[in-house]
Amino acid sequence: MVNKNLKLMQGNEACVEGALAAGMKFFAGYPITPSTEIAEISAQRLPRVGGKFIQMEDEIAGMAATIGGSLAGLKSMTATSGPGFSLKQENIGYAMLTEIPCVVVDVQRGGPSTGLPTAPSQSDVMQAKWGTHGDHPVIALSPSSIRETYDLTIQAFNLAEKYRTPVFLMLDEVIGHMREKIEIPDPSDIEIFNRITPDESEKSDYKAYDNSLEVPKMAAFGEGFKFHVTGLMHDEFGFPKNDPTVTEILMSRIMGKIENNLEDILLYDEYYTEDMDLLILSYGGTFRSVMSAVREAQRSGKKVGVFKAKTLWPFPEKRVKELSKKVDNIIVAEMNLGQYYYEVDRIARNNCEVSLLGKANGEPITPTEVLKKIKEVL
């Protein structure tokens, strides 16, 4: 007990503390419930560590400034909730094509539209995947506890820096506003990844989008590389090109840098999957009710396994397919009317039945509801 750094913390607070541990030095955003504490705590904490916080005039500007901060060399984050996430999408696409690392936190709330500002939901799962136009890779993580929020925020920064891409941290209001006692890890135990930067010798011929590398090296503005960045399709130096060959090379590299590194990116936990008749798949806050119900079911002799996705995107396709061969049924439990469900169904439908336990009335899924669903299926 003596040496442990224990703290009672809210999910949104753990997100900021994790971000600071990962090296966040810049935050730009716009207030929106239920993500607001992330901005508030960032405003309080950043200047104390020599970082910068700015409240922009709108969500669009919050995303733009976050990208600008990263281009100027600082690890940058923004946070928002459903409607704000919608507004940010165009600039998120910009960051994907221009390969600017940053973390975008979405504390999901009920929708569509202004919806349910203070109620939990997991209904931005597909928005994370397809919110912006065009083909693009997505990395989205979702924590189901306060300590996991801390850890996955660090992971989000590491992945953003490693793969030069925006990374989404998908909280839900259950996790964002819940308080738990957590142990803050010692900084020396935390693994941090910083973007690979070009060296002096590359100054005269710097390729900001060098296609011979899976992830090109990234210089910051002001370091003497004088490169060009555009949201148009571009050549290796970053200049606009609408040549189909150039576009194809760029697009396949951008997709490939994620698709070829799934083992590094995919995170999930499994419980009781060695010997099971039924699998429940869930993520985020919903996992907690699922786990509670499954323990109860286990006590009455039912063999129920649990798959918890921590990496929502890319989809943990290989593992879900393997597990789907072991059972007759998979239940997908999520606080929406079937967003992740369709992805699971697509992967597993030839091997087993897939059913949805979905809820979108602004209330979390309860253990009782999960138990009822288990009884229906088993």
Partner 1 sequence: MAVASKLLENNFRMNRLPHIWCPGCGHGIIMRGIAEAIENLGYDKQKVCIISGIGCSSRAPGYMDFNTLHTTHGRALAFATGVKLANPDLKVIVVSGDGDATAIGGNHLIHAARRNIDITTIVFNNNIYGMTGGQYSPTTPHNDLGTTAPYGNVDNVFDICRLAEGAGATYVARGTVYHAKQLEKNIESALENKGFSLVEGVSICPTYYGRKNRKGDAAEMMINLKETTLDKKVAAKLPAEKKEGKLIIGEFVNKAQPEFCEEYHKIVDKFTKGD
Residues that bind partner 1 in the complex, under the rule CB under 8 A: 25-26, 28, 47-52, 54, 56-58, 60-61, 64-74, 76, 90-91, 94, 220-232, 239-240
- Residue 61 CB, nearest approach to partner 1 (Å): 4
Indicate the pairing of strand 102-110 with strand 116-120.
antiparallel
Burial class (CB in 10 A: 0-12, 13-18, 19+), 180: middle
The least CB distance from residue 375 to partner 1, in Å, is 51
d(CA 340, CA 64): 29
| Minimum distance, C-beta of residue 233 to partner 1, in the bound complex (Å) | 12
Smallest gap from Cβ 66 to partner 1, in A, equals 6
Q: Which is nearer to partner 1, 133 or 299 (CB)?
A: 133
CA neighbours within 13 Å on the CB side: how many for 70?
Answer: 31
- Nearest approach in angstroms of CB 16 to partner 1 is 16
Pick 203 or 349: Cβ nearer partner 1: 203
Q: What is the DSSP string of 314-376?
A: S--HHHHHHHHTT-SEEEEEESSSSSHHHHHHHHHTTTSEEEEEE--SSSPPPHHHHHHHHHH
- DSSP character for 58? S
As measured in angstroms, the least distance from the Cβ of 220 to partner 1 is 7
In angstroms, rounded to a whole number, what is the distance separating the alpha carbons of residues 48 and 177? 24
Query: In the complex with partner 1, which residue's Cβ is closer, 16 or 276?
Result: 16
In the complex, the smallest distance separating the C-beta of residue 216 from partner 1, rounded to whole angstroms, is: 17
Instruction: Decide whether 83 or 305 has the Cβ nearer to partner 1.
Output: 83
Dihedral (C-alpha) 75, 181, 293, 126: value to the nearest 10 degrees? -20
Number of residues in the chain: 378
By DSSP bridging, strand 116-120 and strand 52-55 are unpaired
Q: Which is nearer to partner 1, 98 or 336 (CB)?
A: 98
In whole angstroms, how close is the CB of 152 to partner 1 at the nearest point? Answer: 24
Q: With respect to partner 1, which residue has the nearer C-beta, 247 or 351? A: 247
Which strands make up the sheet holding 353-358, listed edge to edge? 268-271, 304-309, 278-282, 329-334, 353-358
Dihedral through CA 188, CA 191, CA 194, CA 198, nearest 10?
100
Longest dimension (CA), the chain: 70
Question: Toward partner 1, which CB reaches closer, 112 or 222?
Answer: 222
Q: How far is the CB of 127 from partner 1 (least distance, A)?
A: 18
Nearest residue (CB) to partner 1, 206 versus 313: 206
CB of 78 to partner 1, least distance (A): 10
Distance, first Cα to last Cα, the chain: 43
For partner 1, give the closer residue by CB, 132 or 286.
132
Buried b (16+ CB within 10 A) or exposed e, 116-131: bbebbbbbbbebbbeb
Distance (Å, whole) CA 41 – CA 18:
12
Burial of 316 (0-12, 13-18, 19+ CB in 10 A): buried
Q: Are 108 and 123 in contact (CB under 8 A)?
A: yes
Q: How far is CA 100 from the centre of its chain?
A: 16
Cβ distance to partner 1 smaller for residue 63 or 290: 63
